[in-house]
Amino acid sequence: MSRVIVVDNGSHDGTQDYLKTQPFGEVIYNKSNLGCGTAWNQGALAQQAEWTIIMNNDVLVTQDWAERLIASAQELDVKVISPAMIEGALDYDFQEFAQEAERRMSRVARLGAKHAVCLAVHKSVWENIGYFTPKPRLLGYEDTIFFNELEKAEIRTAITGAVWFHHFGSVTQDQMKKEKGLAMSQALGNRENYKMLGMNWLERKIRRFRRKKSESFWRKHETQGFNMTIHGLRRSGDFVWR
């Protein structure tokens, strides 16, 4: 716990009282919600370690996951890495599932992939492309901008099957949508945020096509080899593999 930096982005639901009872390395209390980018930067700058792990607050993890995640990054020679995960309802024994999944899928990796639920980032990435865009109005679009910079700089990334998370879903963003009176299907951020990528319509479409093609390839080969993939959804008591 001494290595964990928690950034509270202006919560008002009793979270701050809870955090004061925990033996974290440091807790940063923002007076208002400054956005994901600002909060992630605060944590990364407070840590200033060789590897910094940025992660959501609505996840379950397994024993020694951080060490194994970084070891996987070093083995794969990537500078940003994310764990495999199951998203949705926790109506199964996650620890038992993860132990078996990590054993079976330990050598599986999606090179070039990543997700913002959890990112282990090497310090050279900050030195190369900088930190996250600190604009509260982005409302969750910060990861897309950061991933775009990673691709432009040709920084190697991966999702590894050697470490598994359970992700309950976009709990924080769903709550923010409720507070703003938005439907769950609506995007939280401004629809013009994509302009910050500096890409025209055709470039975005080509990149989306390539990503979907890669995801289809990974899903097919992982399913054929293991009867599962490194990204699953939990629906109606069953796993749906993506």
What is the mean predicted confidence (pLDDT) over 162-173? Answer: 83
pLDDT of the residue at 135: 87
Phi first, then psi, for residue 165 (nearest 5°) are -120, 155
What is the mean predicted confidence (pLDDT) over 5-20? Answer: 92
- For 126-156, letters b (16+ CB in 10 Å) and e give beeeebbbbbeebbbbbbbbbbbbbeeeebe
* The dihedral sign for the CA sequence 195, 200, 205, 210: negative
Q: Which residue has the higher pLDDT, 239 or 138?
A: 239
List Cβ neighbours of 180 (8 Å cut-off, separation of 6 or more): 188
3-state helix, strand, coil in the chain (%, to 5): 40, 20, 35
pTM comes to: 0.90
Is the pLDDT assigned to residue 191 strictly greater than 90? no
Domain boundaries, the chain: 48-241
Token pair, residue 69, equals 């995640």
CB atoms within 10 A of CB 171: 13
Among 63, 54, 60, 68, which Cα is nearest to 6's? 54
Average pLDDT for the chain: 91
Whether CATH 1.20.120 fits 48-241? no
Is the pLDDT assigned to residue 153 strictly greater than 90? yes
Share of the chain above pLDDT 70, in %: 90
Q: pLDDT tens for residues 86-115?
A: 999 999 999 999 999 999 999 999 999 999
Token pair, residue 187, equals 């995007």
Token pair, residue 141, equals 């679009």
Is the pLDDT assigned to residue 187 strictly greater than 60? no
